[in-house]
Amino acid sequence: MSTPYAIADIAALVGEPTRAAILLALLGGGPLPAGALAVEANLSAAATSLHLSKLTRGGLLSVEQEGRRRYYRLANDEVAHALEALGVIATAHRPPTRALSPDRAAFRAARTCYDHLAGSLSVALTQRLERDEMVRATDPRAYEVTEDGARWFAKEMGIEVAALAQGGRLLARRCIDGTERRPHLGGAVGAAMLERMLTLRWVAKISGSRALRTTLRGQEALGRLVGSA
């Protein structure tokens, strides 16, 4: 690091527009090769390699070698959380705009945020969990899952909270949603929820986008979960 303030070094890495494009492309959670990231950032292969090297050395990306190709991903969920939080700050004072395009509306409704669900659907589900005291905020960045909540996750989602708690990851993160500016559920429980929704085909990924499509089956199931008292 080049300055006595580590936050300034990280800000410099994130603040360069093409590096920001690379980071946002990886916010969907999946690994991407350098070639795909070059397209996202509109850069040459050589320039992309330079930026990827800086982001990796700065601790924002991790890289895996598969044969002759290198695949990059965000280093961890802390990086993803920080990017989502910066999105909240970046849009906080923007004036209202005209009606959202279909693509933007889909992105705002449901999308991946690293490995968990974000968007208005995720916020609505989290509000329901809070209202029914299945999760309870313990500080600005974390929830605790109550006993009722653990039973609910097991019954409704097939998720064993006790098993997730044995891992080293924060169990239930309180993320401020980048478009809704209200909390959604991240952490190990949030990741397990998204994985389960994809397995049950309640939501489906949209090629080339972080947006998710809610299936007819998902509309019924999620509508019940979000709307039930």
Residues 3 and 35: their CA atoms lie apart, in Å, by 31
Share of the chain above pLDDT 90, in %: 56
Who has greater pLDDT, 202 or 98? 202
pLDDT (0 to 100) of residue 77: 82
Show Cβ contacts of residue 138 under 8 Å, excluding neighbours closer than 6 positions.
144
Domain extents in the chain: 6-75, 98-227
CB 222 within 8 Å of CB 192: no
Q: In terms of C-beta density within 10 A (0-12 exposed, 13-18 middle, 19 or more buried), how is residue 200 classed?
A: middle
CATH code for the part of the protein at 6-75: 1.10.10.10
pLDDT (0 to 100) of residue 173: 93
Q: In terms of C-beta density within 10 A (0-12 exposed, 13-18 middle, 19 or more buried), how is residue 172 classed?
A: buried
Name the pTM for this structure: 0.75
Residues 206 and 112: their CA atoms lie apart, in Å, by 10
Who has greater pLDDT, 47 or 78? 47
3-state secondary structure of 41: helix
Phi, psi of 226, rounded to the nearest 5 degrees: -75, -35
pLDDT (0 to 100) of residue 219: 94
Query: Which tens digits make up the pLDDT trace of 119-165?
Result: 999 999 999 999 999 999 999 889 999 999 999 999 999 999 999 99
> 86: pLDDT confidence band, cut at 50, 70 and 90?
confident
Phi, psi of 203, rounded to the nearest 5 degrees: -130, 155
